Structure 1
Amino acid sequence: MPQQDLERLKKEYQRRADPAYYKNTYSFSNPAYVFMLQSQERALLSCLKEFGFQSLNQSKILEIGCGRGGVMLGFLRYGATASNLSGIDILLDRVVLAKQTLPESKISCADGQFLPYESAQFDILLQFTAFSSILDPQIKRNMASEMLRVLKPDGVILWYDFWWNPTNPQTAGIKPKEIKILFSNCVFKLHKITLAPPIARLIVPISWALAVILESLKVFNSHYLAIITKQ
């Protein structure tokens, strides 16, 4: 049931809000986290350049599931204008934190199935590991439909999510076939990136160079960066 999955999702995000969870997993003192973040950033900037986004200062950008605003903050570094950044999240406490981080941006507590925007509003839509946290297929279909609705005809969706995570039953990896079903009648470019976190946490503290080599093989990479455009 969609509503049951939303309640489960809220509880799971509240669990992840534990300071100890963030301190151990998403800390810049954690070399594996830094490795994964830098790898993701290089791939993302390369895709933006490829699709003609040399400058982001005029681009209207929306993130689905913005959390505390970390990804949006990254886009400020890339040249986006704070007032052109929007984000939605289902948890009010995360929205409050994101607004403190990005006071000039438009951040709302909202369900991704019912985006509070008019159609064809955004140049870039961001989805970073929000869909894999949803288990109900109807919710995912509804969210994908809403994302396409608010995207400009010449806009792009930047999708970053994992296809495989056997250690967390609260998530479901999404493979390219499912992405293409969710966003039917669209054009896709997919890059398999990010050395699987369990491997990165093991290898990076020992040898950064070895981690780079393993990631370049793509066999051990756990995420897809997909660039989705309308037909």
Structure 2
Amino acid sequence: MAGLAIDGSNPDVSLLYDINGLAGSAPDWFDRGAEFAGKYGIVTALVLVGLWCWWSVRRQRAAEDSVAAVAGLLWAPLAAGVALLVNIPIREFVGRERPYVDHPGLDVLVPLRTDFSFVSDHATMAMALATGIFVAHRGFGLAAIGLALVEGFSWVYMGAHYPTDVIGGLALGTAVVLLLAPLAMALLTPLVSAVCRSGRAGLLVRSRAARDADRAEAAEAPGTRPLGIPEQRPDDNNLAA
């Protein structure tokens, strides 16, 4: 793959020059903004989208939906970590140099690094987080996927990755989340369900308003206890009576 990168007729290289060439005509403040976004800003935005999604799904009408969504949100960062671990042997096996090693004329906006280029860690992590959020909530997930795509684009723009490095990262992050999701959800859902049934910790899964609605529903149907309602224990006065 490193040999292919040297060939200027390769579409991967041509697209690299086209995207990175935008940096040459952009103002300096835009380049600095792109660098900040690629390194920190977009990942931070993904975390904020995840937190917003968590705050929203806690108010879902059905407790089972809240449990599934929160379990999906827990899987998102775990999947990102797994994807990054999977990428370690991939990068060593492929051994593709950074684009600025073979193409010194690039406008590089980040400090030079000596690690390998394929697959992009940043694109992998961003897409894993985004896909995990998508598993939890389609609307928030689509917004997160959009951010992940911008994350990948920014690293090509900064001259630090080939487009195929980013495409590989997006594919790897998505694959890890979706392929391992059945096992992850099977393990995480009972844990989140147990938290949902507990007292104050249950507010991490169901909002106070949602739990009040669960209690009202339980009052209308005696003998049932919806998932979001913690088990009530008799107090000392009742025991004494």
Q: For this structure pair, what is the TM-score category when the shorter chain's length is used for normalisation?
A: under 0.3
Greater RCO, CA 8 A, separation 6+: 2
Higher strand share: 1
Higher helix share: 2
TM-score w.r.t. structure 2 length? 0.26
TM-score w.r.t. structure 1 length? 0.27
